[in-house]
Amino acid sequence: MRRELHDFYHAYIACLNAQAWHDLSRFVASDVIHNGRRLGLAGYRDMLTGNFAAIPDLAFRPGLVAVEAPFIAARLDFECTPRATFLGLAVDGRRVAFAENVFYEIRDGRIAQVWSVIDKAAIETALRGR
């Protein structure tokens, strides 16, 4: 089960990085909840396409992954260039590095719930340091 969830997660990340949105339903439940909001599959896809529109060089890179069914926990390391405002911060095309620590609950073979925290304080510190 653990190996399957690792494989599942890496396939999901590959789907995101390929922006293969027609495949997203293989990984994400139709009634998915993200940070307490019932986005559903369409809302989840809109969130992701919005992220790529705001951050053209966005890439998902899992640094740490820990799996204990039904949960996948991952630390994603981002290094990217948001065009304008990101998380309410005026990044304006500067390159920023930050992490996201995120939990996923897998139910019936798909992501049913996501609890994500992005390290906004790290971006603020980086922007102040320029």
Could you list the residues that contact a copy of itself (CB under 8 A)? 2, 64-68, 71-73, 75, 87-88, 99-103, 115-121, 124
**Beta carbon of residue 18, minimum distance to a copy of itself (angstroms, whole number):** 26
In this structure, are residues 43 and 36 in contact, taking their beta carbons and an 8 Å threshold? no
State in Å, rounded, how far the first CA of the chain is from the last one.
46
**Beta carbon of residue 93, minimum distance to a copy of itself (angstroms, whole number):** 21
DSSP the chain: -HHHHHHHHHHHHHHHHTT-GGGGGGTEEEEEEETTEE-HHHHHHHHHHHHHHH-TT----EEEEEEETTEEEEEEEEEE--SSEETTEE-TT--EEEEEEEEEEEETTEEEEEEEEE-HHHHHHHHHT-
Q: Considering beta carbons, is residue 9 or 27 the nearer one to a copy of itself?
A: 9
**Beta carbon of residue 15, minimum distance to a copy of itself (angstroms, whole number):** 22
Q: Considering beta carbons, is residue 2 or 61 the nearer one to a copy of itself?
A: 2
Q: Considering beta carbons, is residue 20 or 69 the nearer one to a copy of itself?
A: 69
**Beta carbon of residue 64, minimum distance to a copy of itself (angstroms, whole number):** 5
Q: Considering beta carbons, is residue 20 or 63 the nearer one to a copy of itself?
A: 63
